Every structure is written in C-alpha cells, then in structure tokens.
C-alpha cells in the first residue's frame, strides 16, 4: 500500500488532487458523507483536546515551531560546582526506590466527550488569559529582559532572586503550554547563557531558587525535551546541592557562596520548616532524569527526620513552623500552621508519593498523620450570616498547660490547602478529604466574592464556629468584635489588606475542578480572573495592590513577582483548557506550578 513513490504501478498524475477526487467519486455517497463527518469530528477533537492554541502563534503545546530546532548550545557557568570537594561527603547514598511504579488511583475526573465539545465555549476566556500573559511577557522582554522581575509601573527591571532571570525561567513552561513556541525558544536561547556564578549577591535563598529556577528548568525540559534545559538544571542542581555540605547534611536557609566553597556552611537554629522540607520534588526529579542518586539522597535525609519526629512535637502529627535544623530539635516551638513558612512542607507529601510512583510509603504515612491533626486543630468553619458551608485554615498554638488554642487567621497563602486535601483524598482513597478540599476552595472563593475588589486580603480574621458543622449567625457578637466598618459581615479584621498577584486561591480552584469535574469551580475562576484583571492591570502588565477593601480605583505597587506568569495566569489558562492539557494523572505540579512528568 505504501510502495515507493517511484514505482511504475502509480499513475503519472497520482500526486494531483484531481486524481484523488475522481477516486473518491467512486465511493458510494453515504459512505463519503460518513467519512467526511468522522474526519471533521476527529479534527475538532484533536484541536480542542490536545492543542487549544495550535492555530495561534506557536503550534500549541504539542506542536512545532517556526524557529529552528537545531540543538541550542549551552554556555557553561564559570564555576563548576560539580567538581567542588565536599567537606562532609556522603559515604553511602540512599537510592531512588526501585521497581515498576504502582498503578495509582485516578486523580483527574473522567471527563466525558461532552467536556471536549465545551472547550470551544471557553475559547474566549482562555484567549483573554493568554492575552494578559502576552502583554506582561512583552513588557518583560522590552523593559526587563534577563532581569528577575518587571516593575509594572516604572517599566524597569528588578534584581530580586540572584539576577538569574527568575521571571524568564519561571515562565518557560507557561510559554510552552500556551503555545507561544517562538517566545519559548527565544527564552531558552537566553537561559542557555546564564552563568550561575554571575550574580551581585553573596548568597541565594535555597528554597526560592529551587522551586523557581530549578523547578522551572526541569518542567520546561519535561515538556520540550530541550537538552540544554536539563544541562542548565544540572549545573544549578550541583550548586544547590552544595548547600547540603554541612556537618549534619541539613541545608541552611541561605546558600552563602563563599562559605559553600570553603566548606563553612551550617544549618540555622531557627529555620522556617517549609524551607528545607520543600526541596523534595525538584531534587527527586533531577535524580530521576540524571540517574544520579545524590540529589534524592539529600532530601531523603530530611524526610527521615520528618518521619522520626512526627509524633514527638508539641502538636503530634504536625511539625512546628520553625525548626532547629542545626541541632535537629523539633519539640521546642509551639506554633503550627499550614500557612506562611510551613505551607509547602505539607503540600509536597502527597505529591512526593505520586512522583515516586507510590514506591515510598512513608509519604502516605506522613500525609495521613498530619492531615488528621490539621483537621482537628487547624481547620475552622467561620460564623457567617448565610451559614455558608465553607472552611478556612488558621494557626494553632500549644500553651504551656498543653492546651491547643486556635487563631482563626486566614491567609491567601493557605488557600493551596483545598487542592492538597483533594489530591490526597484521591490518591489515598479518602473521599472525605476531597470534600474537605472542596469546602476549603469554596472558602477562598467566598472571601474573594465578599470584598469590593472581588479579591481576598493577604491575612484576615473571622469568628470560628465551635465545630466544622457550623453555627448560628450572631450579629451582636460580630458588631462587638469587628474592627472596621469597611469589612464584610463575617470578617472581623484584615491585618494585611494587600494582594500580591498570588496564585494559591486559583490553584485550589483549578485542582478541585480537574479532580471533581464540578463546573462551579470554572465559573468561580472566571469571576476571580475578571476581578483581578480589573484591580491590577497597568500600562505595562499587572501590579500588586495595597488594599482589597476599597471601592473604585486601587493603589498599585511597582511589583509583579515571577509567580504571576508562572502560576496565577497558568492556572487560569489551564482551567479553561482541554482536560488533557497537563493531565493530573500524567504530571505532578510543584509549589510553583511547574509540571513534572510522572514516572510510568
């Protein structure tokens, strides 16, 4: 059937469209009509389900590019961290779990064929998000190229994370996902020239550099298979790995370059728990891609500590907000939260179980144990006039008499918890966790809708009910406790009224939609997007705002962190895209929304 085209058995005009049209006329008309319908249907499904923007500037995330696909050369960094002799070398590495990954429970909702056809209905929403991203990216390229951030009011570049083009690296996978392939390859060529030794700083934040830079490089490689991205990730990974060269192999908060080269690093006595305990996904993926166990060994030692001390802290099941990593003391601090300073520690527990294909059971143990404590002491249902069945997470403190007191202080940062509970619920067969996740996500939606700007504050307080089952509205009590007439009913304080373009609320809304298939989350996302765009848009992009409680014009800050393009807009785009675009059963998203390919 597929003989060589030079064969004499073919008519001389076999390449002509007329030849094939005449052949088609010999097929009975009903059969021709059926073929036509099937072809059109297949083309529609392919367009809507795989590559939503294939016809718009880049070929979609699985398509090609008008740019040359020749190998992009890498400029090596001027210092080779891989050759650094460690002062405290590892004698025996903990290897990656071996064996065929388990067949894990399905995470993503099984969307029907109807969901595929509904993609076209959401086309305009997806394109609105894409348009906002392109505007911000265009301004970054024009005014802040190779800088860490764009200042969206003054149209200047800012150095905030070592000067290693944080926004560029953080946005690589978003460019790919949105089908902006020419922009993607232009950025890759620039990233290939980065010298990790070329920085005005004397140290870098290990956590931030890991989730933004290393995570961004690894996910962009997983999506595009551009080798230079993995090579750059290895260079950076070796630099970050030097942070583990301490007497107890625990990393400090800051990677001081001079001390790292001389073997003088030590872990701090008062370190945010999220910092050393949220490096696991990125270091694990680097070991999986390179076959080098040293990266996984580094974070496995931290996991062993979490396991060892899970039930000897002041609040058994959870780990304190701050940890003494120098002396490995976990039972002195009395404050516990899943908000700022601790958040991604908990987020990574079910995600690491996924990333390792279910072959390391300790992550299931750590997740289940910590979530039970969180349900009992951290989550609360607020007293609301409409008795909405929503949840928030607060902060617990263990008093000197051993009693646990709850501070019902909600945070935008902790809005990620809805997605965490839903993911854990699916992975471990805990359907009540999926419903808890939905109520947490709805809590953040509720907070968005409650304020005049349509955006929730960074930090706020509410009146908690005695149980998660709810309580009656008490107007007199609310009036007595509220500290500002500008606050909507149910909210008694807004300590920090600003919004920094954060992604955590839309993150959970996206995950709950993909996990449950409930369209209410899609509709909530559209309302959130419109409110954020209205309140934060500037001439050059989008900016954080000072006060979400105001009516009318908002006062903007000259700040647009890289997570706006890496996370917030990516989640908004994905929730209106075909379900197979970054399928949750194929990818694990790190805390900066970078998708890593799950091992099969």
46 noted as active-site residue = no
Q: pLDDT tier at 116 (50, 70, 90 boundaries)?
A: low
> What's the confidence (pLDDT) of residue 18?
46
62-73: average pLDDT: 59
Residue 20 scores a pLDDT above 70: no
**Calpha distance 380→463 (Å, rounded):** 9
Percent of the chain with pLDDT strictly greater than 70? 88
Q: pLDDT tier at 29 (50, 70, 90 boundaries)?
A: low
Closest CA to 215 of 325, 355, 79, 75: 355
**Calpha distance 117→47 (Å, rounded):** 10
> What's the confidence (pLDDT) of residue 287?
98
Q: pLDDT tier at 12 (50, 70, 90 boundaries)?
A: very low
> What's the confidence (pLDDT) of residue 286?
98
End-to-end CA distance of the chain: 35
Question: Is 547 strand, coil or helix?
Answer: coil
> What's the confidence (pLDDT) of residue 40?
41
Pairing of strands 379-380, 392-393: antiparallel
Q: What angle do CA 473, 477, 478 make, to 5 degrees?
A: 75
Strand extents, DSSP E, 185-263: 203-205, 254-256
Q: pLDDT tier at 190 (50, 70, 90 boundaries)?
A: very high
558-576: average pLDDT: 98
Q: Are residues 546 and 497 in contact, defined by beta-carbon separation less than 8 angstroms?
A: yes
- DSSP label at residue 545: B
286-291: average pLDDT: 98
399-427: average pLDDT: 98
Q: pLDDT tier at 45 (50, 70, 90 boundaries)?
A: very low
**Calpha distance 177→412 (Å, rounded):** 26
Cβ density class 338-351: b for 16+ within 10 Å, e for less: bbbbbbbbbbbbbb
> What's the confidence (pLDDT) of residue 117?
65
**Calpha distance 341→64 (Å, rounded):** 41
Q: What's the full length of the chain, in residues?
A: 600
Tokens 């996500």 -> residue: 441
Residue 454 scores a pLDDT above 90: yes
> What's the confidence (pLDDT) of residue 532?
99
Distance of CA 441 to the CA centre of its chain: 16
**Residue range(s) of every CATH 1.50.10.10 domain in the chain:** 50-60+67-597
Distance of CA 338 to the CA centre of its chain: 16
For residue 538, count other CB atoms closer than 10 A to its CB: 17
For residue 6, count other CB atoms closer than 10 A to its CB: 6
Residue 61 scores a pLDDT above 80: no
Closest CA to 547 of 484, 503, 505: 484
Instruction: Exactly one of 235, 268, 292, 343 is catalytic; name it.
Output: 343
Residue 13 scores a pLDDT above 50: no
Q: Are residues 382 and 464 in contact, defined by beta-carbon separation less than 8 angstroms?
A: yes
Instruction: Exactly one of 245, 292, 504, 507 is catalytic; name it.
Output: 504
> What's the confidence (pLDDT) of residue 119?
72
> What's the confidence (pLDDT) of residue 52?
44
Could you tell me which residues are beta bridge partners of residue 323?
271
> What's the confidence (pLDDT) of residue 7?
35
476 noted as active-site residue = no
Closest CA to 507 of 383, 426, 586, 414: 414
Run of H or E residues at 337:
strand 335-337
Residue 169 scores a pLDDT above 80: yes
Q: To the nearest whole number, what is the mean pLDDT of the chain?
A: 91
Closest CA to 542 of 26, 129, 177: 129
- DSSP label at residue 259: H
> What's the confidence (pLDDT) of residue 1?
34
Cα–Cα distances in angstroms (integers) from residue 550 to residues 125, 153, 432, in the given order: 26, 20, 37
Q: What angle do CA 574, 531, 529 make, to 5 degrees?
A: 5
Token pair belonging to 3: 């003989």
Closest CA to 209 of 249, 256, 162: 162
Confidence (pTM)? 0.90
Cβ density class 437-472: b for 16+ within 10 Å, e for less: bbbbbbbbbbbbebbbbbbbbbbbbbbbbeeeebee
- What fold characterizes domain 50-60+67-597? Glycosyltransferase (1.50.10)
**Calpha distance 572→555 (Å, rounded):** 24
Residue 48 scores a pLDDT above 80: no
* Long-range contacts (CB closer than 8 Å, 24 or more residues apart) made by 20-23: none
Residue 14 scores a pLDDT above 80: no
322-347: average pLDDT: 98
> What's the confidence (pLDDT) of residue 34?
63
Residue 15 scores a pLDDT above 60: no
**Calpha distance 261→278 (Å, rounded):** 24
Instruction: Exactly one of 208, 307, 364, 481 is catalytic; name it.
Output: 208
Pairing of strands 271-272, 254-256: unpaired
Q: What angle do CA 439, 575, 147 make, to 5 degrees?
A: 110
Number of alpha carbons in the 13 Å side-chain half-sphere of residue 589: 25
**Calpha distance 506→459 (Å, rounded):** 17
Please list, in sequence order, all residues whose beta carbon lies within 8 angstroms of the beta carbon of residue 22, skipping any fewer than 6 positions away. none
Residue 6 scores a pLDDT above 90: no
Closest CA to 592 of 300, 176, 166: 166
Give pLDDT tens digits for 461-498: 999 999 999 999 999 999 999 999 899 999 999 999 99
561 noted as active-site residue = no
Please list, in sequence order, all residues whose beta carbon lies within 8 angstroms of the beta carbon of residue 572, skipping any fewer than 6 positions away. 129, 506, 510, 525, 528, 529
Q: Are residues 223 and 173 in contact, defined by beta-carbon separation less than 8 angstroms?
A: yes
| Max CA separation in the chain (angstroms) | 95
545-568: average pLDDT: 98
Q: pLDDT tier at 120 (50, 70, 90 boundaries)?
A: confident
343 noted as active-site residue = yes
**Calpha distance 577→118 (Å, rounded):** 10
Q: Are residues 170 and 566 in contact, defined by beta-carbon separation less than 8 angstroms?
A: yes
Is 259 or 44 the better-scoring residue by pLDDT?
Answer: 259
Residue 529 scores a pLDDT above 90: yes
């Amino acid at each position: 059937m597929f003989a060589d085209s030079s064969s004499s058995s073919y008519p001389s005009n076999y390449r002509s469209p007329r030849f094939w049209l005449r052949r088609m006329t010999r097929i009975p008309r009903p059969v021709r009509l059926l073929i036509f319908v099937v072809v059109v249907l297949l083309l529609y499904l392919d367009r809507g389900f795989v590559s939503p923007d294939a016809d718009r500037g880049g070929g979609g995330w699985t398509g090609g590019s008008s740019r040359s696909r020749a190998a992009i050369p890498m400029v090596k960094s001027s210092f080779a961290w891989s050759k650094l002799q460690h002062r405290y070398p590892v004698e025996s590495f903990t290897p990656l779990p071996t064996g065929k990954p388990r067949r894990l429970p399905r995470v993503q909702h099984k969307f029907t064929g109807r969901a595929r056809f509904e993609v076209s209905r959401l086309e305009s929403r997806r394109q609105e998000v894409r348009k906002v991203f392109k505007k911000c990216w265009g301004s970054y390229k024009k005014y802040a190229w190779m800088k860490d951030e764009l200042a969206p009011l003054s149209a200047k570049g800012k150095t905030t994370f070592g000067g290693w083009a944080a926004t560029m690296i953080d946005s690589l996978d978003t460019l790919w996902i949105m089908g902006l392939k020419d922009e993607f390859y232009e950025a890759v060529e620039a990233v290939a020239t980065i010298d990790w030794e070329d920085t005005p700083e004397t140290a870098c934040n290990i956590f931030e550099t890991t989730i933004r830079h290393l995570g961004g490089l690894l996910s962009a490689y997983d999506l595009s298979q551009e080798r230079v991205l993995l090579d750059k990730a290895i260079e950076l990974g070796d630099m970050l790995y030097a942070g583990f060269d301490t007497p107890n192999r625990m990393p400090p908060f800051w990677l001081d370059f001079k001390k790292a080269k001389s073997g003088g690093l030590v872990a701090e006595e008062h370190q945010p728990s999220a910092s050393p305990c949220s490096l696991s996904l990125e270091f694990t993926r680097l070991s999986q891609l390179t076959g080098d166990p040293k990266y996984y060994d580094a974070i496995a030692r931290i996991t062993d500590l979490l396991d060892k001390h899970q039930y000897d802290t002041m609040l058994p099941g959870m780990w304190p907000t701050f940890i003494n990593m120098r002396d490995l003391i976990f039972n002195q601090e009395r404050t516990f939260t899943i908000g700022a300073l601790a958040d991604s520690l908990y987020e990574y527990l079910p995600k690491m179980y996924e990333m390792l294909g279910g072959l390391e059971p300790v992550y299931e143990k750590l997740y289940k144990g910590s979530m039970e404590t969180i349900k009992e002491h951290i989550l609360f249902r607020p007293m609301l006039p409409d008795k909405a069945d929503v949840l928030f997470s607060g902060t617990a403190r263990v008093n000197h008499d051993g009693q646990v007191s709850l501070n019902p202080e909600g945070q935008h940062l902790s809005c990620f918890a809805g997605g965490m509970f839903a993911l854990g619920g699916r992975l471990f067969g805990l359907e009540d966790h999926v419903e808890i996740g939905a109520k947490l996500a709805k809590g953040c939606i509720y907070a968005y809708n409650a304020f005049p700007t349509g955006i929730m504050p960074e930090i706020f307080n509410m009146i908690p009910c005695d149980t998660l089952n709810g309580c009656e509205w008490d107007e007199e009590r609310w009036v007595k406790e509220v500290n500002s007439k500008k606050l909507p009913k149910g909210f008694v304080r807004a300590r920090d009224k600003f919004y920094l373009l954060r992604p955590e609320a839309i993150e959970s809304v996206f995950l709950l939609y993909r996990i449950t298939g409930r369209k209410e989350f899609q509709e909530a996302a559209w309302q959130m997007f419109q409110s954020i765009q209205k309140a934060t848009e500037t001439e050059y992009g989008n900016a954080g705002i000072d006060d979400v409680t105001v009516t009318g014009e908002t006062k903007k800050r000259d700040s647009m962190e890289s997570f706006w393009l890496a996370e917030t807009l990516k989640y908004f785009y994905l929730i209106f895209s075909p379900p197979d675009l970054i399928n949750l059963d194929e990818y694990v998203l790190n805390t900066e929304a970078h998708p890593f390919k799950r091992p099969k």
